[in-house]
Structure 1
Amino acid sequence: MSLFNRLPFPLILVIALWITCLALPVDAAQPKLVTVAYQYGANPSKLAQAEGRYEKATGSKIVWKRFDNGADIATALASGDVDIGLVGSSPLAAFASRGLPVKAFVLSGVIGSSEALVVRDGSNILKPQDLAGKTIATPYVSTSHFSLLAALAHWQVNAQQVKIINLGPTEIIAAWKRGDIAAAYTWDPALSAIKQSGKVLTDSEEVGRWGSPTFEAWIVRNAFAEQYPEFVQAFADVTLAANLEYREYGHRWTPSSPQIQAIARISGSRAADLPQLLKGSRFPTAQEQLAAELLGNDKASGLARVLQSTADFLKAQKKIDRVLPDYRNIIDTKYVTQAAHSQGSKLSSASSMPNSLPKQARNDAFNTLAGPATSAAEAL
């Protein structure tokens, strides 16, 4: 009789279970394959994407899937088809209100001139009031849709007197060429295309100053973040490093620069347009993102307030059925906090702004996030 056969049965069972566990694959700190959703648009993270920095930092294979709008990305996240996605504040507010189990873990940027309302040459739209009776295209429940309604409210133009139709960016290009629409509020590649035969009436940077800012954030499924926190941390680190790189060196980038050429391949924007588009938005560093004006833990200011006012707008538009009492739970700051801690000395020395946003910065798009605002829903 072997030694194994002489062992007590309970001990044999423990050994068998231990051997079985050894045979099972160990759940690595980093997943082997991750699906990440993105959209067209101008931001520094596109450079990191084009150069494979996310893969290098995480050691994982990433499948990048492009979607036309954030609403589709949120749907893919809800189904589990996507692990991480880049969405705007409007679809994030909509799906957070519906209970989508995700967290916004790092900002890509505060949207500026990369989204705009363009009116067609020859449409006889010379001032905002001329929009009445015209057909305007925009992707529904998008940041552009939110900004369009906010702009109309600011101008005191009754939205019911404007025909707003639901078209994605690529559909807008086709409709513009056919002459089906007089104006469109959108982002690239449609924005660059329609600007060639139209003029900008307003953009999201100006709408933000009026009290209705919009932003883009990377969001992650809660289950994925719980299983692979190191991947999410590395993803946030790369995004913040790209923002910092642009803040430090972006003013030197020209259409022929390799950085702009790389971003153009991913963003859908023309290289000739990208320097100006990038200048129009804000790409905050880790320390800046933790300020009250952005990710700070304050219900009455920052992105929590933006999500709240956006949800109010969407409910008024009958796009969602309810509004949460508090949107701070949709924001997870621990990854940005860790990045600020581990990269603090580098960020503070290279950034053009110190940890606490100065008054001059608050007078820019950031101040609309902290100050009192009139949401589109309140104005309609």
Structure 2
Amino acid sequence: MTRRAVFVYGANDRHFQSGRMFHLRHALDAAAADRPDVAVGTIPYRFTNQVLPVAAAYSLRYGAAILSDRRAADGYVYHGFGFSDAYHDACLGAAIDGVPDGAVILSGCQNIGRRARAAVRRKGLRVFFYIDATVRDLVYLGPRVRAAILEAEAESYRLAAGFFVYHEGVAASLRRDYGVDPPAITVVGKGVPANAEEVRAARAVPRVSGTSLTLMTVGTHPRRKGVLRLIEAIDRLPADRRARLRYVVAGPARRELPTRDYLAPLGFLGADQRAHLLALMRRADLGVLLSEWEGLPGSIYEFLALGTPCWMSDLPDLGGLTTRPGVIAEPLPLDPARLSGRLAGLLDDRAALGGLRAAAEAHWDGLGWQPVAARVLDTVLADHVEGKRG
């Protein structure tokens, strides 16, 4: 019996893109457990310190400070190295000769690099992309690299056998901006970016009830994630109300946030602090994400999987996330005065907050990766699925 090889590109990294390929790989293992004709493997991302000569050459070419922590004024990194041909030639391209002819590659990045594109043609490989956005949506890319990465993305997409996307908004962008045939696109959503053991352990963390309100946001970029907007809303509250409120922020460097008595900046928490982060998310009264653009936010999935209710922007194309039990959807555009009023109401009505938590806990098992993996596996193994190549 011939086994069909399916390689998940980037499945070794549980941080980039909220670790979606890491979690998809584990779910695919389970989905393929009763499929002796399928072999699932990993092609790893390589970290910057493993490809220093490549990173240095890219930095010289584009004037990009890859190896520093320098950020633009809005908090975004502009160099785009992780989307470039140079990076993916050093990762996927370096491993591509070991991939058997006719194999399937699942890429979580919008580009596979020059070497892999040549191998797709030479070896008859079938590449599927699983993405939360197109490069055109990544407004934080700097102008010097944007054109090159857009060109590489388009060349990679022309070789695609198909696309898996988070929501209809991404599908619409592929159809409109890249000319992808609708049958080549499958909307699959995503699962919670945490494994089952982590979730079970965090759910067992005891909660402490009281009269104060603990809010929490998890995300790297304080401006895009709405952290600064929420701080502005909290500042509008009277001092006695602010004294009953605590805002925990995980992700941004402490220097990127203002100093406030109610603010608890944690900085970036690495893999060795994963259990601590999930415990904090479980203890929070409310997970908050007041952004104006998202794919499918991994932190909201984590909060809800832990039974923590959420307050988030009522963004389009979120696949019903804002209507799930335990979620408060905040209308756009966001208004600081209205946000302050919402906070005052939450402080005054603990019973309503308890009802939100009960609703979230009653539905906390509905966000797993298994349906996503099953749909992906069925699609990549079907012979008739073919993306637009011209």
After TM superposition, the score normalised by the length of structure 1 is 0.30
Q: Which fold has the larger relative contact order, with Cα–Cα distance below 8 Å and residues 6 or more apart in sequence?
A: 1
* More helix per residue: 1
Q: Which has the larger radius of gyration?
A: 1
After TM superposition, the score normalised by the length of structure 2 is 0.29
